[in-house]
Amino acid sequence: MAEEYDLVILGAGTGGYVAAIRAAQHGLKVAVVEKEKLGGTCLHKGCIPSKALLRSAEVFETAKRADDFGVQTGEVSLDFTKVQKRKESIVDQLHRGVQHLMKKGKIDVFEGTGRILGPSIFSPTPGTISVEMANGDENMMLIPQNVIVATGSSPRTLPGLEVDGTHVLTSDEALQLETLPASILIVGGGVIGIEWASMLHDFGVDVTVIEYGPQILPTEDKDISKEAAKILKKKGIKIVTNAKVMADTIEKGDSVSIKADVNGKEETFTAEKLLVSVGRTANVKDIGLENTDIQVENGVILVNEFYQTKESHIYAIGDVIGGLQLAHVASHEGIIAVDHIARKNPDPIDYDTVSKCIYSHPEMASVGITEEEAKKRGHNVKIGQFPFKAIGKALVFGETDGFVKIIADADNDDVLGVHMIGPHVTDMISEAALAKVLDAAHFEVAHTIHPHPTLSEVIGEAALAVEGKAIHS
């Protein structure tokens, strides 16, 4: 069977399904092909389920401190089965929501594996999609005018550290744990590794993070990374840096142990489970790219600023093109690609205006460039920094660790970057992102009247601090 479309999207994750909705809004006939579930990794194996677990961990940790607030709870215990059921309930509700949006937009959904065909009887150019139907039905042939590849990414593993789902896990398997381990080794101190370290520690698990580089969170501003390491260590999380894991030394039994070269000295680490958290790999295999002129470099698809590949009618968005592998980025890339297909003349994304969030405890968030990057780009910088411990609402919350750091250009006062660590900063970063979009100066942020008492006052104080004029310092 064959069906013609204006647009076919391979992958219905956050980027793919948002692109489909946008295309339907433009009046295009659209289909999506998804081999698992609508919503993709973010909804089922990433953003949403992990944040649900993090919220339960936060509530559990807060309950244990209830006496500090004058609240008598008695002995606090954790029912991890209910934690997982709550997570699944949230995912199911959102999944049903995406299904409804597809029906509302009259978007055809094909459940199966889609592959791009080369020139054929269906089309003189590459782009026809052959769908291997999940239910075993005969392959469907989708003949589109345009294609968007939105196949996402999968957890990267390390050679020798084969995932078995019992002793060695990735985040995919960790999300399905039925019981919590007593202890865990986390190989990789990036964003995902630190979120899991924070969550599992707050659930009562003994956590050790083993990071190859000299600091955790290597893509963050160095002051944020240092503060995060200090706070996490104070909580009781063990962090080992400059540690090269020796995969061939892994031993499994009742526990798992592995050796690592730590600053030139061999050390052995043992725990009940080991979580590999060393980034993600773009899903570029088995989707038919070899039947096209699409270029893949360093494991990701090459695109222009409107997400066109070398085959101009085939676009690619999200994790599969590398860059900022974030759900909200994939969504916006999908919108830009569709608007370009519909000839709406979209503006390309300025990635310096994209917010990045880390949902550990403490939270972290940033937009723009780091101090180090600003200096590399030749900016003369001036910096304002202000601590949460001087903010009334932070004291009320009982969360006073952390600070906000604003990096400004000393020559023209433009805000170059804003970096936060502390309570609810992921909910506050959008103010800084808007400042970046509007190319605001630090004094314009300072002149914004922040209501009192709120956590957001820390942003105004940090902006004032750029010129040494913070009020409550």
Residue with tokens 């995932």: 163
Helix 14-25 to helix 327-341 angle (10° resolution) is 30
Q: Beta-carbon neighbour count of residue 169 at 10 Å?
A: 24
Q: Mind spelling out the 3-state secondary structure of 337-352? A: HHHHHCCCCCCCCCHH
Distance of CA 16 to the CA centre of its chain: 16
Q: Beta-carbon neighbour count of residue 124 at 10 Å?
A: 8
Q: How far, CA to CA in Å, does 74 sit from each of 64, 71, 77, 315, 382?
A: 9, 9, 10, 57, 50
136: CB partners within 8 A, 6+ apart: none
Could you give the angle at the alpha carbon of 21 between the alpha carbons of 19 and 23, nearest 5°? 70
Could you give the CA distance from residue 74 to residue 77 in angstroms, rounded to a whole number?
Answer: 10
Could you give the CA distance from residue 100 to residue 97 in angstroms, rounded to a whole number?
Answer: 5
Could you give the CA distance from residue 248 to residue 194 in angstroms, rounded to a whole number?
Answer: 24
Q: Which of 100, 447, 452, 472 is catalytic?
A: 452
Q: Is 168 helix (H, G, I), strand (E, B) or coil?
A: strand
- Provide the terminal-to-terminal Cα distance of the chain, rounded to the nearest Å: 70
Q: Beta-carbon neighbour count of residue 94 at 10 Å?
A: 16
Q: Could you confirm whether 26 is annotated as catalytic?
A: no
Amino acid at 426: T
Could you give the CA distance from residue 326 to residue 75 in angstroms, rounded to a whole number?
Answer: 39
385: part of which helix (H) or strand (E)? Answer: strand 381-387
The token duo for 73 is 């709870």
315: part of which helix (H) or strand (E)? Answer: strand 314-316
337: CB partners within 8 A, 6+ apart: 19, 148, 306, 307, 308, 315, 317
Q: Are strands 403-409 and 356-358 parallel, antiparallel or unpaired?
A: unpaired
Active site residues: 452
